[in-house]
Chains A and B, each alone.
Chain A
Amino acid sequence: MKIYFPLRFPISFHIVGIIFRKELRSYFNSIIAYVVMIVFYALMGWFYAGNIFLNNTATLRDMFEYAGIIFLFIIPATTMRLLAEESKTGTIELLATKPLHDAEIVLGKFFASWAFIALTILPTLVYYLTIANVGGLDNGPVIGGYLGLLLMTGVYIAVGLLASSLTENQIIAFMLGLFFCVVLFFIDKMLFAVPDFAVSVLQFLSVDYHFSNIARGVIDSRDIVYFVSILGFSLYLSVVSLQRRTW
């Protein structure tokens, strides 16, 4: 048996860019993009914006919390088709027999999803502008919040993409992606049953823990390293999974 190393030769970002543009366009050609955006804004409006003045403090803390939880549930729906559909329809064979690398396919799709989510987040600047107008808003936690939100959604997308690479059934890809996201989010939430020494380990594995750290406005390299490694590891596994055909 030959083992094909996924990162054997240099990746062409020209090719990544071509796949990125195609995938981003296909988001907006399908109804998924609009459904996801509408669901996101509706839930944000209901959970957050409705209470924006009740809090009586000039902070966006809650906004980031809510956005993080909503994305946890809707990102798997935006990533489920990325690779599952290509395997199902056989178009993956067209990509895999062109002179390009599997990692370029994965990266192109990842960045397209990420850009789409970033575009979805963009209009929440309205909340920022509203609150900043009303009272003195500390910009540190806002920058940290947006950075943390982007990194956290990046991790959700990466594990969703991994889920999508594991099956050709989009429903299974969605459920699996949701499962990965939920595990990463809730792993530090029920710590009463866990022995002390494990608490810090589980906390370190939790996306929410690192997100909260960054959202406080303190950008610590440990949190960045956490996000980048989970994200990179998931993408790496997606490439490995795409190469199952060569085993």
Chain B
Amino acid sequence: MAIAVRNLTKFYGSEKAVDEVSFDVKTGEILGFLGPNGAGKTTTMKMITCYMPPTSGSIDVEGFDVSEHSFEVRKKIGYLPELNPLYLDMNVIEYLEYSALLHGIRNGLLQGRLREMIDVCGLGDARHKDIGELSKGFRQRVGLAQAMIHDPEVLILDEPTNGLDPNQIVEIRNLIRQLGRAKTVVLSTHILSEVQATCDRVVIIHHGKIAADGTLDQLQEKFHGSETICLEIKASVANPMIDIYPKLHAISSVESVAYTGQNGDLHRFSVQTQKGIDIREEIFRQAIHEKWVLLEMTRTTTSLEEVFHSLTTPEAP
């Protein structure tokens, strides 16, 4: 286990930012730490990286406890803080050298590490430029290079693609995936597609509590064992709730039917069924039988987007 977080709690004054959070990160895994803004992601990461101590609970990184062996933990972690703070008046190579020296990399190894980071992060052309002159995408590469300079076992990246344009996001994601092959990576984000694009596993955090923990497939299955079919039916009936609704509900494996709209003779329904059972054929036969005109029938499985949404809204299951 690369990181083991147990009953982690953090109070800011009387406000509970992180509430009894426990999770594990396996060695070599890319874990997505997903949650809406203000959910406690950054606070948790600050505690893992020894920036601030937990109010209670424990964090163990590569076998070292953050409170007892803070120095050992810090040596093993590469950290990209939220908003990627950098010294804008230093040039890239100076800054990476400074980071390397503070990590205790001695002169013999220094040049090799600098060259490797500049290669891996694609900073060749920018190496003698002031960081303040660089675009956001390049600054992010500098931030990643800084986090990787001492070849840490664990990378903690707080919103690594925040504020980048779509092309830069793709570049940085590729870079993280590439780096992640040899490292344990925890990255936080409030963007779901980020997790889908880069992570092996996801921990969803909401109001300081863990709302879900698992692989993307597991979460999809766990939280939505049903599929939805949207129907648009044309039928001249007096009351659709009596003439159509019960007949849809009567089809086997239908779990629920919702009447979602009307426009003259057009009636819209949304039918929930058990997962993996396709009832479109039955609906079609029923329509013929009842002489409805079926104008539209679409089948949707719930996306992770909806899982995330349902987990992080007040009506969460």
What residues make up the interface of A, taking CB atoms closer than 8 Å to B?
Answer: 2, 4, 15, 18-19, 22, 25-26, 29-30, 89-91, 93-100, 245-246
Q: Can you list 18 pairs linking A and B with CB atoms under 8 Å apart?
A: A18-B102, A19-B102, A25-B94, A89-B86, A89-B87, A90-B81, A90-B82, A91-B85, A93-B46, A93-B85, A94-B99, A97-B74, A97-B79, A99-B71, A100-B102, A245-B51, A246-B52, A246-B53
- What's the count of A-B pairs with C-beta under 8 Å? 63
Distance of A2 Cα from B71 Cα, bound (Å): 17
Distance of A91 Cα from B82 Cα, bound (Å): 10
* B146 CB contacts on chain A under 8 angstroms: 94
CB of B32, distance to nearest CB on chain A (Å): 21
Residue in A4, A19, A98 whose beta carbon sits within 8 Å of that of B103 in the complex: A98
* B86 CB contacts on chain A under 8 angstroms: 89, 91
Q: Is the CB of B98 within 8 A of A18?
A: yes
B residues 34-86 near A (Cβ < 8 Å) are 46, 49-53, 67, 71, 74-75, 77, 79, 81-83, 85-86
Q: Is the CB of B85 within 8 A of A99?
A: no
Which 7 residue pairs spanning A and B have beta carbons closest together? A90-B85, A99-B74, A97-B49, A91-B85, A93-B81, A18-B101, A98-B102
Q: Is the CB of B75 within 8 A of A90?
A: no
* B278 CB contacts on chain A under 8 angstroms: none
CB of B57, distance to nearest CB on chain A (Å): 13
CB of A97, distance to nearest CB on chain B (Å): 4
B116 contacts chain A at the CB level, 8 A cutoff: no
* A15 CB contacts on chain B under 8 angstroms: 102
* A245 CB contacts on chain B under 8 angstroms: 51-52
Residue in B51, B94, B99, B101 whose beta carbon sits within 8 Å of that of A93 in the complex: B51
CB of A244, distance to nearest CB on chain B (Å): 10
* A29 CB contacts on chain B under 8 angstroms: 89-90
Given contact pairs A97-B81, A99-B71, A100-B102, enumerate 10 new A-B contacts (beta carbons under 8 Å): A22-B90, A89-B86, A91-B86, A94-B99, A94-B146, A95-B102, A96-B50, A97-B79, A245-B52, A246-B53
Distance of A245 Cα from B101 Cα, bound (Å): 25
Distance of A185 Cα from B59 Cα, bound (Å): 48
Distance of A25 Cα from B98 Cα, bound (Å): 12
* B51 CB contacts on chain A under 8 angstroms: 93, 96-97, 245
CB of A32, distance to nearest CB on chain B (Å): 11
CB of B155, distance to nearest CB on chain A (Å): 12
* A90 CB contacts on chain B under 8 angstroms: 81-83, 85
CB of A8, distance to nearest CB on chain B (Å): 10
* A89 CB contacts on chain B under 8 angstroms: 85-88
B104 contacts chain A at the CB level, 8 A cutoff: yes
Q: Which residue of B lies closest to A85 (CB)?
A: B87
Distance of A99 Cα from B52 Cα, bound (Å): 14
